[in-house]
Chains A and B, each alone.
Chain A
Amino acid sequence: MAVAWATLRRSWLVTRRAYPWSYFISTLLLGVFTIGLGYLGLRAIAGDQVSAEFTGKAGTGDYLGYIAVGAAAYMFVVHGILWAGKAMLQEQREGTMGALIVAPARRLPYLLGFCAFAGTAVAIEVAVLLGFAALFGVRPATTGAVDAVLAVVGLALAVFGMSVVLSNVMIVAGEAHITQNTVFYSIALLSGFTFPRDYLPEVFQWLGELVPVTAAMDVIRGVFTGGTGLPLDRLGVAVLISLLYVAAGLLSMPWAERRAMERSY
């Protein structure tokens, strides 16, 4: 736990010094624009009308509420991955990867420290987004506090699993931009953040099942959008796939770190 706490403290210090407040403002504006565009689209294009097909597939006729939950979850996932998944790449770029690897600290608490920091930072961003959505009359509903906590924990676990795997890919490839954007665009399409997955061809729906955030989003939707409660089967799938990602990521991490060290020779 000492390593996790120390890494959380280090991340806080470094981030506070590295990024001016304008960075946080720009991050917060992302949420504002997402909700704003959703509102404008609903009013100007759809004339405040939501099709019966959408209502049937989304489980709700509250389009703005659907968008707000999806945008908040997407922000949670993307920024979580950006913070935790890029941690090792950042070490590589800063010239500290060797010093980190040669230390006996395990990588799991190190990454959990980054996730704890990411969770804090992302919570603020999501709160602003949901607060702005509330100005447009969006009132997020939940089927219960326990359901809500389990749904968020499921999504966080999915983010962590993906972060560990992506971290390895990034340090081996020595780049983040292509890797992260490929993942972000893919999950935006496949995982049900901005539209019901039932709109997708079946093959894409199955492709979506390869990443843990898809099942985790089904849980989020059930608790925060559809009002159907906690879908335990989907939560189980999310947890299982996430743990597989975590295990695969942690097991392959020593190999990835050595490959990253070798790239400089």
Chain B
Amino acid sequence: MIETIGLRKEFGARVAVDGLNLTVPGGRVTGLLGLNGAGKTTTIKILATLLRQTSGTVTVGGLDPVKDPHAVRKRINLIAGGERMVYARMTGRENLWYFGQLYDVPSKVLKTRIEQLLELVGLTSAADIRVERYSRGMTQRLSIARGLINDPDYLLLDEPTLGLDAPIARDLRKVVAGLAECGKGVLLTSHYLAEVEQLCAHVYVIGDGRHLAQGAPAELMAQTGCHRTVRVTVTDLTPRIRAAALAFDDAVRFAPGGVVELNRPGEVAGALTTTIIEAGGTLGGLEIVEPSLEDAILALNDRSPAVAA
């Protein structure tokens, strides 16, 4: 398990991470979400031993990255979508071979693993082409293969699907889900919130380096009041219907075009439409919009005094 307690990182006068408590158990994909500058990448780089925290404690599989970075590095790997992390003048296969040496992967294992990873990321046919001739997406796929070369216990993914084509991103999500099923701990940051909703069983939301909320994506949406929205279009929105709708729930809103809108937990569409019909209304349409994680994060950031300031 990766665990941080009171994690804090300062860059001069700027506080990038402020008292963050985080747990990344094995067998689960854990999300770390926040707006730009929230401290996600800094947190991941501390966990990856690239940076050292100003205060607070970090343990990776019971090991302290400050006291024993060498042992921690054997058990983790990092894939950062915003950085290349592979050598441009080497081929894909040569890159994987070199990183395999850096991770002391036994020769026989390495040979097989390189082929498997190349196939996994769809680069088998381009394995002997230099990376400088790869497209951005191909380079990113190779970087993903590099991140798996040591078969890490914990995988730190910082925007791993940035710049990837949809089919490759989908395949990567399958790989990440599979890794978690195999018992590996995965920490994921991504701007593609649908990806986070799909993969993460537990999500931490941070803003301005501080913890804002945590829970399963559905729990977060509920915590922030992000519920499904019911929109009923009424062809003849009379004062009587308005009064009936408000009597049903005073959170009802009215929009141009005869739209009656209600954002509430639970199933309210049936009861609301019944109320409108009983008040003499004629339905022109019914739309139910599911809440998104994006709504929840925006709501959390809006509520955070530090972020708002």
The answer to whether A104 and B45 touch (CB under 8 A), given A13-B89, A262-B51, is no
Q: Is B11 in contact with A262, judged by CB distance below 8 angstroms?
A: yes
Q: Is A18 an interface residue (CB 8 A)?
A: yes
Q: How many A-B residue pairs have CB under 8 A?
A: 89
Q: Which residues of B contact A99 (CB under 8 A)?
A: 78, 85-86, 99, 143, 146
Q: State A105–B70 Cα separation when bound (angstroms).
A: 8
Q: Is B11 in contact with A13, judged by CB distance below 8 angstroms?
A: no
* A255 nearest in chain B by CB position: B52
- Interface flags, B65-91, vs A, CB<8A=1, else 0: 000011101101110100111111110
Q: Is A137 an interface residue (CB 8 A)?
A: no
Q: Which residues of B contact A95 (CB under 8 A)?
A: 83-85
Q: Is B104 in contact with A2, judged by CB distance below 8 angstroms?
A: yes
Give the residue of B83, B87, B150 whose beta carbon is less than 8 angstroms from that of A98. B83
Q: State A261–B42 Cα separation when bound (angstroms).
A: 10
* B88 nearest in chain A by CB position: A94
Q: CB within 8 Å of A: which of B126-151?
A: 130, 143, 146, 150
Q: Which residues of A contact B97 (CB under 8 A)?
A: 6
Q: Is B87 in contact with A94, judged by CB distance below 8 angstroms?
A: yes
Q: State A105–B49 Cα separation when bound (angstroms).
A: 13
Q: State A114–B116 Cα separation when bound (angstroms).
A: 30
Q: Which residues of A contact B70 (CB under 8 A)?
A: 104, 106
Nearest Cβ on chain B to A109's Cβ, whole angstroms:
10
Nearest Cβ on chain A to B60's Cβ, whole angstroms:
12
Q: Is A254 an interface residue (CB 8 A)?
A: yes
Q: Which residues of B contact A110 (CB under 8 A)?
A: 102
Q: Is A3 in contact with B102, judged by CB distance below 8 angstroms?
A: yes
The answer to whether A265 and B86 touch (CB under 8 A), given A10-B98, A105-B103, is no
Interface SS of B by simple majority: mixed
Number of A residues with CB within 8 Å of any CB on chain B: 30
Q: Is A258 an interface residue (CB 8 A)?
A: yes
The answer to whether A105 and B104 touch (CB under 8 A), given A94-B84, A99-B85, A258-B51, is yes
Q: Is A14 in contact with B90, judged by CB distance below 8 angstroms?
A: yes
Q: Is B182 an interface residue (CB 8 A)?
A: no
Q: Is B11 in contact with A265, judged by CB distance below 8 angstroms?
A: yes
Q: Which residues of A contact B102 (CB under 8 A)?
A: 3, 6, 100, 103-105, 110
Nearest Cβ on chain B to A116's Cβ, whole angstroms:
14
The answer to whether A103 and B88 touch (CB under 8 A), given A98-B80, A262-B11, is no
Q: Is B237 an interface residue (CB 8 A)?
A: no
Q: Which residues of B contact A101 (CB under 8 A)?
A: 49-50
Q: State A186–B76 Cα separation when bound (angstroms).
A: 43
Nearest Cβ on chain A to B103's Cβ, whole angstroms:
6
The answer to whether A98 and B50 touch (CB under 8 A), given A3-B102, A105-B102, is yes
- Interface flags, A97-125, vs B, CB<8A=1, else 0: 01111111110001000000000000000
8 intermolecular pairs with C-beta atoms under 8 Å apart: A3-B102, A5-B101, A13-B94, A94-B88, A98-B85, A99-B86, A102-B77, A104-B70
Additional 5 contacts, C-beta under 8 A, given A103-B103, A261-B50: A10-B87, A96-B87, A102-B48, A104-B102, A106-B70
A interface list, Cβ under 8 A from B: 2-3, 5-7, 9-10, 13-14, 17-18, 94-96, 98-106, 110, 254, 257-258, 261-262, 265
4 nearest A-B residue pairs (beta carbon): A6-B101, A103-B102, A104-B73, A99-B85
B interface list, Cβ under 8 A from A: 11, 16, 42, 45, 48-52, 69-71, 73-74, 76-78, 80, 83-90, 94, 97-99, 101-104, 130, 143, 146, 150
